[in-house]
Structures are given as C-alpha cells and as structure tokens.
A and B are shown apart, each in its own frame.
Chain A
C-alpha cells in the first residue's frame, strides 16, 4: 500500500516539474513578446526542418577535397589522413602522375561517412590543405549505407 502511494507521489512530482518548466518558459516568452527585457530568456526552440540555425564558422561538417587551379585534386595521396583517422574511414590509392611537379595523386579516395566520427584529425594532418570540413553541410542521412560512402568525384564536387 505504501509502495503504491510513493508511486503516485513520483508521478505528481514529475507533472509538477513539467508544469513548472512550461509556466516559467511561457511567462518569459510572453514578457519577451511584449518587449519587456528579462535577465533570463525562455527555452530556445526552433521548428527544425523549416527553420534552421546558423552553423558556427569552425563547425566540422561534411568533408570536401580542394582543387588545384587546373581542376586536379590538391591531394598528393600522402595518406596521412588515412593514418591519423581514428575510425579508419578513409581509404586512398595513389597513382603516378606524369607531371614531375605533382608525381603522386589519388586515384581512389573514399570516405565512409557512416563510420566517420567528425573529429577533424584528417584536416589537421593534411600537409597540403587538401581536405576541409567547412561545407556547412550537416544533413547527409541516407536510407542506404552504400550511399554514405563518398568517392573522389563527389568529394571534389562538394558544394560550397
């Protein structure tokens, strides 16, 4: 009997907490609505898919590969990003470039987004500033795991 009583107490307490948040936030929102400045603001909520917040400048978003002036990838396939990647989501295969100034370029460059933890180590490690995570793209959910694997072509032509 006593146990059942405690159960109801907890439910009522929970309802009270929810009600408190609701009333407090509503009071602040109404006050702000009429232009009365308060020390504290109401809880921040946006209607996500329609409304979007601004992404911070240094936010680590979808990767992109930089291009040289002539459109070739800036990457020299040194595989330092592949080495440093903690989740082993980068795979590179290198090929010989006929141009002796470049010598080495990636024929395959794969990033598996479903595995990537967005630590940004690849960007830090890159000696050529060839990979960046500044596209501002954060919505890349897919229905299929295969579609989460980006290849060289799609990484080079990332919108920015």
Chain B
C-alpha cells in the first residue's frame, strides 16, 4: 500500500495501480474515453490528463502508476484548459448528428462536453465528410464521421475475442477504422462493440432507430440462455399513456458487478446469443388459463382447485405412483425446490423427469454448451437428471404435470407429445402459446425469468438472485406462485406452504434443508 494525495485528499491504494483507478477509489471521476478497465491503457484520447506535482507537463491518469507521496490534482485551471482543448479537437470533425444518433443520451463525448466543455466552436470550415453507413457484419454499422479513434473496438477484438477483424487504416488525420478486405466481423461477441464504443460510431441494426435510450428503463436480471448466467440489464419501454409500443424489451446490455470485475476478460461482456435473443419475452405469450373442457375463461383459484382435485383423486385411490412430472431446468432454484417438495416429498412420486437438453457448441469465453440456466441448481436440489428415463414417466401414468418454460428446444416436447397425448389428464405450465397447448387439459400461463424473482445456480456453482423486471402479461404468474397455491390446495402439508409468500421465503426454507444453499 502506498499513500497518495488526490486533490489534497490522502488515500491509501495498492502499489502498481494507475492514478485513474486510484482516483476512482477516492470517488473522484477523471474523464476518459479510450481507457477501459478490461484493456491495457492506450492513451490515445488524452482526456484523462491530470497535474502531478513535480512533473513538468500534464500526465495521463490512465497510464501513470502511483508512487508513494504522489500529489495529483484533477481540477486545476491547467487541467481544465487541457480537457477543453482535447474536447475541442475531438469535436472538430464530429458530425454533431446527436438527434439521429442512437448513442445520444449515454454518449461519453456528449456528457463530457456538458461537464467539461461548454465552449463555442471556433471552426469556420466545413466538416469533413466520411462514410456514414459502413456494414461491419453481424448487423453492426460503422459511422466514420462519429468515430473518435479510441480503438476500443480494435482492442476488444484483438485482446478478448482474439479474432482481430477490425483495424486502424491510413495515417494521421486520414486514419479510419475498417475491416480487412471485405472480411466481415463474425464472432459471438460482436454485439459488445456497440456498448463499448464511447460514441455512436458503431450501432447495431437490432436497436438502430427503434427508440431513444432515455425512454428505456433498466432492470437488473440474469441471462437465462446458457448455464453461465451472465449479469444483464433488460432495457424495456414502460410505454406511453395513449399509444401502444410495439414491444416491451428493446435491448439487453451487460451489467458489471463488483464481483465480476476481478475476472477481467469475462466480467464486462455478454455474448450475442444472450444480447439478441430477447424476443421470446414478447412473442407468443400465453396470457389466459385455458381449460379444455367447459368455459375457456377461468380464474386462477379455480384452475388451482382443478389441478389439486386431480391430485386428490389419485390420493383417494391410493395410486400416487400414477402421477408423473416433466420438469425442466429453466425453473429457478426456488421453483425446482417446490417441485421436489410437492411431488417427491409430499406426494411421494418418483417420476420427475427432466428431458435431456441438447448440448450445443460452447466457446472458450462465456457461452457454455448447456443452454439452460439452472442445471446445476436442479442437481444440487437433489434431482438426478438422468435417473428417470422417458419410458418410466409414461409407464401407467394417469396424471401428468408438464413444466415447459424454455422458449427454445421445441423439438424435445414435440417428440414427447405423442406419448403425452395418451395420458388421461395432463396439465401444462408454460409462458408460451404453442401449438401443443390445445392438447392439454389445463394450460396455466407462467412468467419468463425476466418477470419473476428467484435465483439460478450457474455452472460455477454460484447462486445468483434476481428480481422481476417486467410485469407478466394477463393471468400469467410465476411458477412458484402457482406451485405454492397448488401445495396449499393439495393440503398434504398445508402449514409449510401457508408460510411461503415470496421466493425469498422459499429460499429461506431451502437454506435450512439443503446444505449447498445454506453456505
């Protein structure tokens, strides 16, 4: 540890870190454009200039290491002038098309001009015209006029994905970002470039011109599309009073938590599968409880009573071995725990079947081969995923509960459908309106992970809690709500379910029962 002084404030920081990081620890923001925590300092934007006592000229905060007794000043007249000068040069060739720029509102250049610039332009000349619509591949579009040549994108593709599709071409004022010889960007992490770009030079077709980012609300959640469980923000439109917005979720961005900052190459990014695979939250959602016989409109209480009555019939006949459950690993820890509690502990059915999910190609950065979020959680709760085969579930089964939360892997359930149809009574819990819904006796709409609270256990055995970001549509409720009311209605163990009113309560119960979650 060394002691340094930033604006006459003493702070103790570990040896070898840079002035910029030290200032951040002291809560002092030093403006920077090209510097990113995940990369080595580049020093091309010159925004982070600070005054250090005893040094002849201003120093780069992002590239200067701290020394014992170093005195750093970030708000002196000299520094302010230097920042203004740097901003003026950066803005000299910047097209100022903020009204049509998707980055406007979260653009570092815009923010810094507000904070440190506020000068009148002294340039009389016409700004230079460059290409405004250069396709880079994977839906990315480069606007060379807006580019400030911070080379974050180049460094990302060089250091993190190691694919090196982008480079800086030409020299001096003619420098520009470009691809090599029509070889377009084609890796699973290209979407990060839009987020990484400090200005609006790289935009993606998925979000381009759809809305303005200040309309969007950010909600913290966990990406459910693979077993890595990256931290994400779901950016959704709260809607207008009088007009219908075409969709709720507009984009997904990465969320950096303090815990993930330690793993440099992993913490800041999310893959394109997670970034662009959000349409399932709005498309084909089941909103109504549908009972096959009788009236289609059904209130939740009646639906639960119907399901519980089916179970009770088996209890009276003492034929609980004819109860089967098809579960899946898209459910949260809490819900899987409730499934286990209701079906294997209270009702003593041994037939909880997990369809095997297809293993897909993983990459060495984030994406895992298991594309369901909670396989580890299911294992820790005590389900052995391969123990029960397909044949055993349907063997003499009269009542079948099917939980199907995955928006993908459609062919798996289609494969099972022919056997499911033969079962006497079958009840489906699903968030989606699919073709097979009409084959079930009762379809209960449920919530997607973005709409419920709970936790996933990811591949590294980390339990990640998340809260609801969106409202679930229509009569849809999270699975845990249905399961708790079902547990109450079955009345085998009414007392323990009566206490459960949130996923948190369920988790507290899990903590006591299962050692893994009690850690």
B and A form one assembly: yes
Given A76-B99, A94-B210, A96-B208, the answer on whether A88 and B132 have CB atoms closer than 8 Å is no
| B471 sits at the interface (CB 8 A) | no
Chain A 44-97 residues near chain B, CB threshold 8 A: 76-80, 83, 88-89, 91, 93-96
Chain A 102-124 residues near chain B, CB threshold 8 A: 103-104, 110, 112, 115
Q: How many residues of B contact A (CB 8 A)?
A: 19
Q: Are A110 and B243 in contact (CB under 8 A)?
A: yes
Q: Provide the residues of chain A in CB contact with B133, threshold 8 Å.
A: 100, 103
Q: Are A79 and B211 in contact (CB under 8 A)?
A: yes
Q: Are B214 and A83 in contact (CB under 8 A)?
A: yes
CA A88 to CA B212, docked complex, whole Å: 15
In the complex, what's the smallest C-beta–C-beta distance from B192 to chain A, in angstroms?
23
| B276 sits at the interface (CB 8 A) | no
| A14 sits at the interface (CB 8 A) | no
CA A83 to CA B237, docked complex, whole Å: 13
| A128 sits at the interface (CB 8 A) | yes
Q: Provide the residues of chain B in CB contact with A128, threshold 8 Å.
A: 99
Q: Provide the residues of chain A in CB contact with B417, threshold 8 Å.
A: none
CA A95 to CA B209, docked complex, whole Å: 7
| B180 sits at the interface (CB 8 A) | no
A94: nearest chain-B partner, CB-CB: B209
0/1 interface trace, chain B 226-269, chain A, CB 8 Å (1 if under): 00000000000000111100100000000000000000000000
Among candidates B209, B241, B242, residue contacting A104 with C-beta atoms closer than 8 Å: B209
In the complex, what's the smallest C-beta–C-beta distance from A114 to chain B, in angstroms?
9
Q: Provide the residues of chain A in CB contact with B208, threshold 8 Å.
A: 96
Among candidates A77, A96, A100, A115, residue contacting B242 with C-beta atoms closer than 8 Å: A115
Chain B 85-141 residues near chain A, CB threshold 8 A: 97-100, 131-133
Q: How many pairs of A and B residues are in contact by the CB < 8 Å rule?
A: 44
A127: nearest chain-B partner, CB-CB: B99
Q: Are A100 and B240 in contact (CB under 8 A)?
A: no
Most buried by B among A77, A88, A95, A103: A103
Among candidates B100, B132, B211, residue contacting A76 with C-beta atoms closer than 8 Å: B100
Q: Provide the residues of chain A in CB contact with B97, threshold 8 Å.
A: 103
Q: Are B209 and A88 in contact (CB under 8 A)?
A: no
0/1 interface trace, chain A 123-134, chain B, CB 8 Å (1 if under): 000011000000
Q: Provide the residues of chain B in CB contact with A110, threshold 8 Å.
A: 243
Q: Are A83 and B240 in contact (CB under 8 A)?
A: no
Most buried by A among B133, B209, B212, B215: B209
Among candidates B98, B209, B211, B212, residue contacting A96 with C-beta atoms closer than 8 Å: B209
Given A91-B240, A91-B243, the answer on whether A104 and B100 have CB atoms closer than 8 Å is yes
In the complex, what's the smallest C-beta–C-beta distance from B31 to chain A, in angstroms?
25
Q: Are A103 and B242 in contact (CB under 8 A)?
A: no
Q: Provide the residues of chain A in CB contact with B98, threshold 8 Å.
A: 78
Q: Are B215 and A83 in contact (CB under 8 A)?
A: yes
CA A79 to CA B99, docked complex, whole Å: 8
Sampled A-B contacts (7; CB under 8 Å): A76-B99, A78-B98, A79-B215, A89-B242, A100-B133, A103-B100, A104-B100
Chain B interface (Cβ < 8 Å from any Cβ of A): 97-100, 131-133, 208-212, 214-215, 240-243, 246
List 13 extra interface pairs beyond A94-B210, A96-B208, CB under 8 A. Answer: A76-B99, A76-B100, A77-B100, A78-B98, A83-B214, A88-B240, A88-B243, A95-B209, A103-B97, A103-B132, A112-B242, A112-B243, A127-B99
